Structure 1
């Protein structure tokens, strides 16, 4: 895992501290950090839940502000991980995506639309 990706995981654990046990369990189970598995199966279900409830607005704003920072990062590995996990998962449910877009910046929206196109979804 490169430094930028490591920072991403640290930040996600900061935003979603209740996921730390599942994060550690995943590492113990697989013997390593399987990045896409952790993002898709541990972090994103929590983000989706926050978006469905839309009660913890400050947390959503903080998370998506960070996602905007990631969207503007030049680290190719991090951008690929972010696109194929976070952005594709957000596109799985149009109502969730609509809610997420209220918190997303221009670059993140653009990248999410590109992620949808990359997997053959209509935008």
Structure 2
């Protein structure tokens, strides 16, 4: 079940990526509930990956990763788990994307991303 922190995470991501609003609403309508991991993996992260691959909108990337660093330093275990299994694992799926992402990541995000990779046996 979602908690306040993960609701806030979804809201922030919608603020960063307003173009995802329709897909976000459709996901909720299709599933009859907010499935955070589905929304983050299939709606938000493809957009983040696209931003990283184009690397044109630097300000937006900096803002998103600054927020990811805040999330990485959050004490909320539920949010951390969702963030790790969605955002951090997906960033590690493609080495070149990850290298680009690392330019924007804060120290805690980098640390958690390495842990997520290790958890998947990638390192």
TM-score range, shorter chain: over 0.9
Work out the CA distance in 2 between the residues paired with 1:120 and 1:36.
21
Aligned to 2:75: 74
Aligned to 2:94: 93
Task: Count matched residues.
Answer: 122
Work out the CA distance in 1 between the residues paired with 2:22 and 2:79.
23
What's the CA shift string for 1:75-100, capped at 9, x where partnerless?
00000000000000000000000000
Work out the CA distance in 2 between the residues paired with 1:33 and 1:80.
17
TM-score using structure 1 length: 0.98
Aligned to 2:112: 111
Deviation at 1:111, TM superposition (A): 0.1
1:87 alignment partner, SS class:
helix
Aligned to 1:2: 3
Work out the CA distance in 2 between the residues paired with 1:105 and 1:115.
15
TM-score using structure 2 length: 0.98
Deviation at 1:119, TM superposition (A): 1.0
Aligned to 2:84: 83
RMSD of Structure 2 on Structure 1 (CA): 0.3
The runs of 4+ residues in structure 1 deviating greater than 2 Å are none
